[in-house]
Amino acid sequence: MYQFMKGSAHQLAAPEIAVAAIPEDERVWVPQAPDVWFRPLMLNTRHGQWCNLLRVRRSGVLSRHLHPNPVHGFVLKGKWHYLEHDWIASEGSYVFEPPGEIHTLTVPDDCAEMITFFNITGCMIYLDGDNKHVGYEDVFTKIDMCRKHYIDVGLGADYVDQFVR
């Protein structure tokens, strides 16, 4: 049996995360695009990994992207799909994204809100319609986004530290 000190970077779970993955305080959601937010759960700087909830309150294309590593997802609310596939990820669906596959995440018109848990290692490489690189995100850009947002909403720059491992 392992024991970890509270606040340790090696802690297995932070109680505040385990209790309330979907926070009551709206300020915890970090804006990513119009009507798109993420809620960090774990930001692992040692392995370039992050786990978060993605919340979307609009229909249409969110992004065209790929990952150099596998991605795992679990739909908590609503539904979405990839333009490149004929399946729909709905509430309770597990999603596996193979490395290197280009996919275009889209939320249908009849979905008012989508929330999906994602576990990502490496980065997201954003592409335009011609598959040209137009941006990226990794654990460090996620931390920077969180820090700026948490300062702006009054939670403080160090609020993100509880999610960093």
- The residue ranges of every structural domain in the chain are 23-163
Structure tokens at 46: 């040692």
pLDDT computed for residue 93 by the predictor:
95
Strands 60-66 and 71-77: unpaired
C-alpha distances out from residue 47 to 27, 28, 108, 112, 117, Å: 27, 23, 34, 34, 19
* Fold type of domain 23-163: Jelly Rolls (2.60.120)
Residues of the chain with pLDDT under 50: 1-19
Q: What is the pTM of this model?
A: 0.86
CA distance 60 to 68: 25
